[in-house]
Structure 1
Amino acid sequence: MNTVIAFIIIFGALVFFHELGHFIFAKRAGILVRDFSIGFGPKVFSHTKNETNYTIRLLPLGGFVRMAGDDPEMVEIKPGHRLALVLNDDNLVEKIVLQGKDRFPNARIIEVEMADLEHDLIIKGYEDEEDETLKTFHLSRTAVIVEEQAETLIAPWDRQFASKKLGARAMTIFAGPMMNFLLAIVIFTLLGFIQGVQVNEPFIGELLPEGSAHKAGLQEGDVVLSIDGAEISDFDDITEIVRSHPEEELIFTVERNEETLDVPVTPKREIIEDKEIGLIGVQAPVDKSFLRLATFGFVETYNWTVKIIELLGTLVTGQFSIDMLAGPVGIYKTTETAAQAGILILMKWAALLSINLGIMNLLPIPALDGGRLLFFGVEALRGKPIDRQKEGMVHFIGFALLMVLMIVVTWNDIQRFFIIK
């Protein structure tokens, strides 16, 4: 149960901040955001406030922000439709009633001749079958379309995604992955302030009470000059020598309070992954200076971003394997392992997942944010946007291929973790 809760919280947080990026910059650009949803499937919670419907759905495996004009508008009013218009005190249409007209006894019933809900914001029609006078009704910018109990706010052209300048649209899409990188920076920074920043310097860090180093008399803060005469330049040198000499006495030459001491230490023998190594119970030294802590989140996020991109580079070299990918099942199992290791390891895993989500979404693949940014780049070169239907078809095909890949990866995860071969 703890793993399920951890998985939902972590994945929900990553999706929330990703979609929050899209949401904030869409609002800043003046785009009407119809839906802010976390998860997929049936609604668990729904609340409408300030034009936007906020929902939490059953499956915490994604989310979406639906912006006006980003998808085809769902309601289309055509000539010949009979509908009811509810006017406000300024004689502007505030409700366009398609279904449920009986709930509005004072509404004006018309047969539509033409309707423009985007640019001119007017509806023209005949109010009486015997009256051939074509009447024009002007719409309020906040008019809603009523279908039974559902109300949909109209989207004037200047409130739609496609009406905005290229830079504003690109920033709205880029903001999702950007927020994932910012979240990783925040998590790593918190980890730094909690436990300090590990540094690769030739110092003795925290000692375990039952370790060989503590029993031999080494102290935290000792500077290791050499081990058995071999000069030490960093903590990695200490680790390498200790691991390669289990149950062999080593002479640590250390500097302590401006004195040089020789301390004999015998590493304990341990078997890890079928390999015999030596351990003395010493952790790497940590730096808790404010400058180091303040920059740690940025540095760690950058380093892990480079490592992940290098891994993705194996796609080009042909060294990539399907086993290197993980779907929801693989992520769940790794989350289980991280949760068992403690809250700090779980936080680091969440930061790595956030970086992964940001990078994957920036890949130039149709249906992902990177694919959309690629189309914006083509638009910048052409000086005009690509036909929306053609772009939509490319994204649809890309989405279908991603779903196939997800099924393959998930099945591979199931075989790895649950099927005994």
Structure 2
Amino acid sequence: MRTALAFIFVFGLLTIFHELGHFLAAKRVGILVEEFGVGLGPQLWAHRWGETRYSVRLFPLGGFVRMLGEEEGTEESERSFRRQSVLSRLLVIGAGPVMNFVLAAVLFALIFFVAGVPAAGTRIAGVVSGQPAAIAGLKAGDVIVGIDGEPVRTWEQVVSGISRRAGQETRITVRRAGRELTFSLVPRPAEGEGGRGVIGIQRVMERYRPFLSLYWGARQTVGTTLFILVRLGQMIMQRAPADVAGPVGIVQVVGEVARTGLINLLSLAGLLSVNLGLFNLFPIPLLDGGQLVIISWEGLRGEPLGPEREGLVKLIGVILLLAILVLATYQDLLRLGV
């Protein structure tokens, strides 16, 4: 149940914000938006405000925006989608993926403001009562400088050094009030985490002010986007293994992360929002990126593709998306050992 609710929350948030981008841009350029729907399937509730109908559907997965003129035979009105300029249509289509990047920046900023980001160094923020660190005598403010005689300078080195010593006596050297002290303890195996060793210490987190959080949220979004693009390039050039998650894999990851807390779930939602924004920009028919290419091509030619060519392009898009879905699902099943 927790996995299902978490998936509905994350996927619903991402898709609703995506559709909200299309909705706001369409309103801005003067297109008649006939309906903004939350969810899919049979209608549960609907109300008309102004010229737009707002509805809630039975299945809380995704959403949609229905604009006048998206389908053939409805472009007579000056406010239809197909009667707008090339620039206006590009703005409306591109606003969906852009909104996913905006959502990611906001989610990252919220995390930086509420929970903070890990600080550099090895200073202990706190110790958990009853755990090996507290029993041995470690205190908040101690700076870890060595593990079993090996110097450590980063928190990652601390985690690595302790993780592999589950059940083994370990000497932790800290700097406290200008003096170095050494404590002996035995890291306990963490439940459900492959038996890695833990001692019950917390890392120092730095919180940012609201506006600074937004700045770092935007930077995190840009950094995440660049990382994904580089990784994608490496997979295309066969310099890295193809690692694509499909629906099964995403549901599994969301469920696992949901059990670790809301902050981690929001962080995953931010990462998935960047992925969704990028994926929708791929030049594949039926995706926003494919529509951007088609509209640009129509602008260069000075005329639309025509029903037959447009139908063929959409068919190619369906085949490509199904192929990607099958490949991703196959890899998900391989990971699960099915």
* Deviations, residues 72-117 of structure 1 (Å, cap 9, x unaligned): 135xxxxxxxxxxxxxxxxxxxxxxxxxxxxxxxxxxxxxxxxxx9
Structure 2 unaligned residues grouped into runs of 5+? none
CA distance in 1, matches of 2:310, 2:287: 12
CA distance in 2, matches of 1:195, 1:303: 20
Matches within 5 A, 1:63-74: 63-73=63-73
Structure 1 length-normalised TM? 0.68
Matched, 1:249 2:167: no
Report what 1:20 is aligned to: 20
Q: State the identity %.
A: 36
**Deviation of 1:272 (Å):** 7.8
CA distance in 1, matches of 2:270, 2:287: 21
Q: Secondary structure at the match of 1:324?
A: coil
* Deviations, residues 50-84 of structure 1 (Å, cap 9, x unaligned): 2223233334443332222232135xxxxxxxxxx
Report the RMSD for the aligned CA atoms in angstroms. Answer: 3.2
Report what 2:99 is aligned to: 179
Which shifted more, 176-185 or 276-285? Answer: 276-285
Q: Secondary structure at the match of 2:126?
A: coil
Report what 2:7 is aligned to: 7
CA distance in 2, matches of 1:411, 1:224: 45
Select which of 119, 132, 155 maps to 1:235.
155
C-alpha change, 1:404 and 1:275, in structure 2 (3 Å) is: closer
Structure 1 unaligned residues grouped into runs of 5+? 75-116, 119-154
How many residues are matched?
334
Matched, 1:263 2:169: no
Select which of 120, 129, 135 maps to 1:200.
120
Matched, 1:215 2:135: yes
**Deviation of 1:231 (Å):** 4.0
Q: Secondary structure at the match of 2:286?
A: coil
Counterpart amino acid of residue 65 in structure 2? V
User: Which structure features the higher share of strand residues?
Assistant: 1
Q: Which has the higher contact order (CA 8 A, sep 6+)?
A: 2
Q: Is the 8 A contact 2:170 2:187 kept in 1?
A: no
Report what 2:32 is aligned to: 32
Select which of 238, 254, 264 maps to 1:345.
264
Report what 1:362 is aligned to: 281
Counterpart amino acid of residue 249 in structure 1? T
Structure 2 length-normalised TM? 0.83
Select which of 299, 318, 338 maps to 1:399.
318
Which has the higher Rg, Structure 1 or Structure 2? 1
CA distance in 1, matches of 2:103, 2:93: 17
C-alpha change, 1:359 and 1:265, in structure 2 (3 Å) is: farther
**Deviation of 1:394 (Å):** 0.9
**Deviation of 1:287 (Å):** 0.8
CA distance in 2, matches of 1:244, 1:2: 31
Q: Secondary structure at the match of 2:203?
A: coil
Counterpart amino acid of residue 272 in structure 2? L
CA distance in 2, matches of 1:10, 1:205: 30
Matches within 5 A, 1:142-157: 155=77, 157=78
Q: Is the 8 A contact 2:284 2:320 kept in 1?
A: no
Q: Is the 8 A contact 1:197 1:296 kept in 2?
A: no
C-alpha change, 1:363 and 1:216, in structure 2 (3 Å) is: same
C-alpha change, 1:350 and 1:204, in structure 2 (3 Å) is: same
CA distance in 2, matches of 1:37, 1:274: 41
Counterpart amino acid of residue 264 in structure 1? F
Counterpart amino acid of residue 201 in structure 2? V
**Deviation of 1:362 (Å):** 1.3
